[in-house]
Structure 1
Amino acid sequence: MSKNAIMAGLVVFVAMALLPFWYNIGGSSAAPEPELSEKAKAAQKCVLDKYDMRANHMSLLDEWRDSVVRDADRLYESTNGKTFQMSLSTGEESCLGCHTDKEKFCDKCHTYASVDPYCWECHTTPKEINQ
């Protein structure tokens, strides 16, 4: 093969490899801010701080699941000293006590991140609880 054909092939390859990056320049948006209920705003403190919850809530929920199912331990003491019920189904002192609108709070970010959690296959949604 000639040197020119090899160079042309490399240029086409690099252009195709970088196309997704060029396509998204300036087009990405920030993650949506979940809408907090009045109760959540008034509490001002969640189980973990806002950034830890965003990054690690799935790991925390997995730990809670194991703790509840395997050890029958239903209480979690937060780093701020407050005790929470490890539950996705009941309770004023659980996540769903403050975060009552699944569509505005959970689904908004899960849709943005293109994830489909399976929590609600077993657990009732917050609106079902509060009816």
Structure 2
Amino acid sequence: MLKSFAPILFLFLLTISGTVVAEGRVPFPDIPKGKGDKCILDTAYMRSNHMEVILHHRDDTVHQGKRTKRFSLIGCISCHAVPGADKKPVTVKSPKHFCRSCHDYAAVKIDCFQCHTSVPPTEASLK
């Protein structure tokens, strides 16, 4: 009985080992580079902790009335805007949008843009 089970076990282990090897070849998302020389904080820190930074700024703004440009969502969107075929910044509806490049990869829903704009302000909108 054990001898008849050995080929099945061998095929099973072979299949699993191929899956493990294939996992190492998962492509990373193509993250568009920002327009500035550097981010407001260390890039590695921002990749891991940007939501804490955004939420802290939101709490300071909403609950304490503090408005600063350094951590504003408009600043992030302006620096990280990705141009589309028409040279205008793409909206969050596009998979090319900066935020979506990682969030789609990680299967994380973005809810910021239910209230906020996903493109930089135009000169006309600032007047």
TM-score (normalised: structure 2): 0.62
2:31 matches 1:50? no
Residue by residue over 1:16-74, the C-alpha shift from the partner in whole angstroms, topping out at 9 and shown as x without a partner, is 9988645524x31234332333xx2xxx1221011111111011111111111111111
Give the strand-richer structure, 1 or 2.
Answer: 1
- How do 1:33-44 and structure 2 match up within 5 A? 33-37=31-35, 40=36, 44=37
Runs in 1 of length 4+ with deviation above 6 angstroms?
A: 14-19
Q: CA RMSD in A?
A: 3.0
Task: Output the CA distance in 1 between the equivalents of 2:17 and 2:66.
Answer: 50
Task: Output the CA distance in 2 between the equivalents of 1:65 and 1:16.
Answer: 48
1:95 Cα offset (Å)? 1.8
Task: Output the CA distance in 1 between the equivalents of 2:78 and 2:55.
Answer: 19
Gaps of 5+ in 2: 4-9, 83-90
Are the counterparts in 1 of residues 29 and 102 from structure 2 also a CA contact under 8 Å? yes
Task: Output the CA distance in 2 between the equivalents of 1:123 and 1:18.
Answer: 46
Are the counterparts in 1 of residues 32 and 80 from structure 2 also a CA contact under 8 Å? no
TM-score (normalised: structure 1): 0.61
> Sequence identity, in percent?
29
- 1:115 pairs with 105, 108, 121, which one? 108
Aligned match of 2:28: 30
Gaps of 5+ in 1: 5-10, 76-82
Letter in 1 for 2:81: T
